[in-house]
Amino acid sequence: MNFLKSTLAGSAVFATFASAALAAEDTIKVGVLHSLSGTMAISETTLKDTMLMLIDQQNAKGGLLGKQLEAVVVDPASDWPLFAEKARELLSVHEVDVIFGNWTSVSRKSVLPVIEELNGLLFYPVQYEGEESSKNVFYTGAAPNQQAIPATDYFLEELGVEKFALLGTDYVYPRTTNNILESYLKGKGIADSDIFVNYTPFGHSDWSKIVADVVALGADGKKVGVISTINGDANIGFYKELAAAGVSADDIPVVAFSVGEEELAGLDTSNLVGHLAAWNYFQSAESDVNAEFVETWKATMGEERVTNDPMEAHFIGFNMWVNAATEAGSTEVDAVRAEMYGQEFPNLTGGTAVMLPNHHLAKPVLIGEIQDDGQFDIISQTTEVPGDAWTDYLPESAVLISDWKELGCGMYNTETKSCVQTLSNY
């Protein structure tokens, strides 16, 4: 009798495991690779929440290809080598069909060899420095020509800025972006001596000397502006020090590329009114689709939660992936990639996002001014600008184009008419 009970119990356990395995096979797994702890959690946790909401919405519509979507969430903890390990875990252990993730470029660079080796598919939702094109990555955030260059033009043409402080966190995105901007500014007639560049570590907190150095730039009476590629929670200390030093946006305007509504939610914005950010979306955008998105987000996550630009990038990327997989009749990476080119989906600002053969989107460029409620007043907006993987402002990049659809190459040299295999900063 005991033997029978043991056998039945063992059968029940086996059946449970078999059922779980079958259930897993019956789902399409979506990897979510965002830092939920460490210095970047201030920005990335919201993107994890965004993906869970989008997956729930898709499942409520019936899922994808007759299956439900299953989110597989991991925490790389703002540890750049750990991003690579977690990406490998998602692809090799959990066997996800796609990954949505990363914020910093150093984390993306860490993940890139793994994604390419295992032929995974990554949707990367944050503005970045360009100078990269992988067939395994769709870059749904802004390239420099969709953020950094237009913001610099705004400083030059609208605000009359004559001296530039390029302040960034010390990693690949700020350094490469500022390299591009230095070249661009010199081409516009700005002297070397009128460009101040400074880098600080992730999590940097003592900003007194740097802010004092920026203020000193204007001692000759020239108009100074700050272009900020500071990332993560270091922004809190930077803006607090600006306020403590009595620096207003009228005195020295700051335009930030990594500060959105989520980062402002942790700040006293009363002293930040008038400072700027350049993105491709703000919560304050007036469109029916954005009103619906914001309403759904707040209903799901709480009235106090705000939306931001990388959330919109995930919204666009996720829906394009769903549509491409539907058209392919498969979530297999090569099949989905082939259907991604030319995919269109409404963006949240009232236009249409289009996926280009270089794996970048056409996106509008918005300049927003910080308001005392932590939202942005949109003071400048363009029509959709096609993202450029390779900048026109660095000689080694100006001759390169990316075209994965027709040329099957992310680094095609237009002078030699050949596909380049390596580049020093790639």
Q: What is the pLDDT, as a whole number, of residue 70?
A: 98
Instruction: Give me the chain's average pLDDT, please.
Output: 92
Tell the CATH topology of 146-279: Rossmann fold (3.40.50)
Q: What is the pLDDT, as a whole number, of residue 425?
A: 39
Domain ranges in the chain are 9-142+287-364, 146-279
When pLDDT is averaged across residues 238-262 and rounded to a whole number, the result is 92
CA distance 15 to 23: 12
First to last CA, the chain: 68
Tokens of 381: 């907006």
Q: Which among 267, 270, 235 has a CA at the least distance from the CA of 254?
A: 235
Q: What is the pLDDT, as a whole number, of residue 229?
A: 96
* Dihedral over alpha carbons 253, 259, 265, 270 (to 10 degrees): 0
Per-residue pLDDT tens over the stretch 305-331:
999 999 999 999 999 999 999 999 999
CA distance 63 to 25: 14
Q: What is the pLDDT, as a whole number, of residue 233?
A: 86
Strands 409-413 and 418-419: antiparallel
- Find the helix packing angle between 41-60 and 288-301, rounded to 10°: 100
Q: What is the pLDDT, as a whole number, of residue 422?
A: 56
Class of domain 9-142+287-364: alpha beta
Tokens of 377: 């007043």
Q: What is the pLDDT, as a whole number, of residue 236?
A: 86
When pLDDT is averaged across residues 350-368 and rounded to a whole number, the result is 97
Q: Which among 375, 370, 363 has a CA at the least distance from the CA of 280?
A: 363
At 303, the pLDDT band (50, 70, 90 cuts) reads very high
Q: What is the pLDDT, as a whole number, of residue 267?
A: 74
Using the structure block, give the residue that is written with the tokens 């953020």: 147
Per-residue pLDDT tens over the stretch 204-214:
999 999 999 99
Residue percentage of the chain with pLDDT more than 90: 86
Question: Given a cut of 90, is residue 263 above it in pLDDT?
Answer: no
- Say whether 146-279 and 9-142+287-364 share the same fold: yes
3-state secondary structure of 282: coil
Question: Given a cut of 50, is residue 225 above it in pLDDT?
Answer: yes
User: Residues 61, 101: contact at Cβ < 8 Å?
Assistant: no
The strand order across the sheet containing 122-124 reads: 68-74, 27-33, 98-101, 122-124, 137-139
